[in-house]
């Protein structure tokens, strides 16, 4: 089997570890295989791929899209390292408002699957990082939403000093979770 799927404490949020074939020439791995993901219970169809590059201490997020353009995501870091964070925004979930963080890097090649209903963000740990992700719905500006990265009610333990965080003006003005009636209306 080319993938190991590991459940997290938050229902539906899944760590994906690919099988990597490495030798003195480099490595080979499958980064996605629909049949394997379906067998693991991830049956969404991915319709768009995104790629970003960021400098050390950049924090992007916490982003989501509202209905009808909610996005599931399969995320990974292909260069450098990031601290990746998912926040459960599903009002009917017993883990609503809880977060989960994991280091994703070019070295560990670990991926994270986030079903629709999660806020997502990451902090760059290396000098630079390139981050790629597949999404289940195309980006729709009218459905764009987010929660501020340092919302004390969520309490994410970012592995960088907040004084060193580099955050876009847009992301620094995002609302707190408590001010959102339902992020998926």
Q: By three-state DSSP, how is residue 164 classified?
A: helix
Contacts of 20 (CB under 8 A, 6+ apart): 27, 28, 29, 109
User: Which among 72, 2, 1 is positioned nearest to 31, based on CA atoms?
Assistant: 2
For 174, which DSSP code?
P
Given 63, 69, 100, 120, the catalytic residue: 63
Given 32, 96, 133, 139, the catalytic residue: 133
Please return the burial class of 75, using the count of CB atoms within 10 Å of its CB with bins 0-12, 13-18 and 19+: buried
First to last CA, the chain: 39
| 51 belongs to the catalytic site | no
| 133 belongs to the catalytic site | yes
Q: By three-state DSSP, how is residue 170 classified?
A: helix
CA dist 139 and 103 (Å) reads 25
Q: By three-state DSSP, how is residue 6 classified?
A: strand
Contacts of 42 (CB under 8 A, 6+ apart): 5, 14, 72, 113, 115
- Active-site residue set: 63, 133
């Amino acid at each position: 089997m080319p993938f190991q799927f590991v459940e997290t404490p938050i229902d539906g949020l899944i760590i994906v570890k690919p099988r990597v074939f490495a030798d003195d020439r480099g490595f080979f791995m499958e980064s996605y295989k629909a049949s394997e993901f379906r067998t693991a219970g991830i049956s969404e169809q991915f319709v768009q791929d995104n790629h970003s590059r960021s400098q050390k201490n950049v924090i992007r997020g916490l982003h989501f899209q509202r209905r009808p353009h909610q996005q599931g995501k399969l995320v990974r870091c292909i260069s450098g390292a990031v601290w990746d964070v998912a926040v459960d925004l599903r009002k009917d979930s017993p883990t609503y408002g809880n977060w989960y963080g994991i280091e994703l890097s070019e070295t560990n090649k670990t991926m994270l699957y986030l079903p629709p209903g999660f806020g997502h963000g990451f902090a760059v740990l290396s000098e630079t990082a390139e981050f790629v992700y597949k999404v289940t719905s195309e980006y729709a500006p009218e459905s764009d939403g987010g929660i501020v990265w340092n919302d004390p009610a969520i309490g994410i333990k970012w592995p960088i000093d907040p004084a060193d965080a580099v955050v876009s003006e847009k992301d620094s003005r995002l609302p707190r979770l408590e001010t959102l009636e339902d992020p998926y209306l």
